[in-house]
Amino acid sequence: MKKKLLALLLCLTMGLSLMACSGTNEQATEGSGSEEQAVTKLVVWGGVPGESGPQDLVDAFNASHTDIQVEYNRFVNDDTGNTKLDTAIMSGEQIDVFFTYSTDLLKKRVNGGMVEPLESYGVVDFIKENITTNTDHVSMIDDKYYALPTVKEFFGFMINEDMLLEKGVEISDDWTVDEFVEVAKALTDTTGDQTIYGVHPYSGGLPLNFALTVLGGDSYYKNDGNESNFDSKEFAANARIQELMAEGYAMPFEEVFAQKLEMYAHPAFLNEEVAIMPFSTWMLRYVKDLENFPHDFKVTFAAFPTTEAGVDNNFRAYLNNNICMNSKSENKEAAWEFMQYWITEGSEYMLKAGKIPAWSKADTALVSEKILGDNADTLFNAESYARVVMNPDNAYIVDTITTAYPQIVEIYKEESELFFLGETTKDDYLKNLKSRADDAIKAEQ
């Protein structure tokens, strides 16, 4: 009897032990019956408002990648916003992935050790399989890939079509800078309470650059990057902008900067303060935003004019909106996974932001439909959009020389300001550009 009782007590003790062990497992796995999955948190900074596509993209990624969860933060893509991003990266704040929207900033960030080179992640194969078989179209810094383009960014002019029709002005596909000047004059209207300027003179923080569409990549350089190119006749054509400002046919420099329109001119265009404005395709989202930018005119499109008759100027697009990995990120494999997603299947969520995917496998019909939106017939001249933006002859601008690139951009800004304010002549403007840029190149060699 004692032996049976002892055996029973032993069984009860073992049973309680097993139950205890079982209870510990259930707490560790949250009742899943398996080991708890580790979750990697990524922090991503980009220049597009979250509601314009990035948050939908992130939500879709998070739903399909339960082991990686992404937080998206928006910074304004201007000098202040980019300084905020750089400061956060340098301070050690968690930022795993971030966007860079210009070559000069990418060069600065590479030089500052902020950007992870991508060769070890199989970047060349990824580019060939998902972006372009011609890898020369993707920019490199110091012979390395530090970033990947997420969009094809075409640029040209948006024009108030109602004003064109009212003034009886026609624009040819092969117009010149001389003809552009005459069109700007014809569309300027000073009869009402508010002056309507023919053209807005700035694009992306720099003066309108007619030379770029003729020269393409490395337009600031000649002689393999050993000398600047500001003494070329193409850059002399850019100086015509000052003539339009001085004579009242382009928005004056002081007004551009007072309204903070040097980077983004759409508020003035949609408010009918200017008839012509430079655009990239992402700006179409503001034309579609009738709540914040109410207007009742139709927008038509034109390519940049060439510098003189008979000169080809097909360089009208970039592979841009570069996605970068923070060199100090502790989650680099997860960051690379997310970067690939944004470029490929995630790119669909960015169509409402006006972002044409760099992904070579994107559905082109769906892209055009989403970019122009539901009210395309009312808001846009779709035929001109197809002719200008989707022109198969559009060639990509690719910068391969970056010697003193950030310094040259800053010199271009500074000397243009002095010229537009009437403090230097045209000859001195071009001479100063050339001299200062040459000195910057020599200093870095």
Domain ranges of the chain: 40-152+320-371, 154-316+378-444
C-alpha 262/C-alpha 313 separation (Å) is 24
- Supply the pLDDT for residue 35: 56
Q: What is the DSSP letter of 219?
A: T
Tell me the C-alpha distance between 417 and 411, whole Å: 10
Residues 308, 388 contacting (CB under 8 angstroms): no
pLDDT at 36: 67
Q: At what angle are helices 332-343 and 54-64 packed, to 10 degrees?
A: 120
**Calpha distance 331→339 (Å, rounded):** 12
The pLDDT, as a whole number, for residue 12 is 40
- Alpha-carbon radius of gyration of the chain: 27
Q: Which two tokens stand for residue 137?
A: 């179209």
Angle at 258 between CA 307 and CA 411, to 5 degrees: 50
Tell me the three state secondary structure of residue 137.
helix
pLDDT for the residue numbered 374: 87
Same fold across 40-152+320-371 and 154-316+378-444: yes
Helix (H) or strand (E) holding 132: none
Cβ neighbours around 124 below 10 Å, total: 13
Positive or negative, the CA dihedral 22, 26, 28, 34 is positive
Q: What is the pLDDT of residues 362-419, one digit of tens each?
A: 998 889 889 998 899 999 999 999 999 989 899 999 999 999 999 999 999 999 999 9
The CATH classification number of 154-316+378-444 equals 3.40.190.10
The CB density around residue 140, as the number of other CB atoms within 10 Å, is 16
- The predicted pLDDT at position 15 comes to 44
Cβ neighbours, 10 Å, residue 329: 20
| Cα–Cα distance, 84 to 80 (Å, whole number) | 6
pLDDT means per 10 residues, the chain with 445 residues, are 41 40 34 66 97 97 97 96 98 98 95 97 97 92 96 96 97 96 97 93 94 97 95 95 96 94 94 96 93 97 97 95 98 98 97 94 90 92 93 92 96 97 96 98 95
Residue written as token pair 């009869």:
191
Using a cut of 0.85, tell me whether the model's pTM lies above it.
no
Residue 73: phi, psi to the nearest 5? -125, 135
CA distances from 394 to 125, 154, 283, 312, 315 (A): 25, 8, 19, 11, 6
Half-sphere exposure for 142 (CA within 13 Å, toward CB): 14
* Token pair of 79 as six digits: 């000098």
How far apart are alpha carbons 395 and 400 in whole angstroms? 15
219 vs 103: CA distance, rounded Å: 13
> Given its phi and psi angles, is residue 257 left (phi above 0), alpha (psi -120 to 50 degrees) or beta?
alpha
CATH of domain 40-152+320-371: 3.40.190.10
Quick one: pLDDT at residue 3? 41
Pairing outcome for strands 40-46 and 68-74? parallel
Cα(276)–Cα(288) distance, integer angstroms: 17
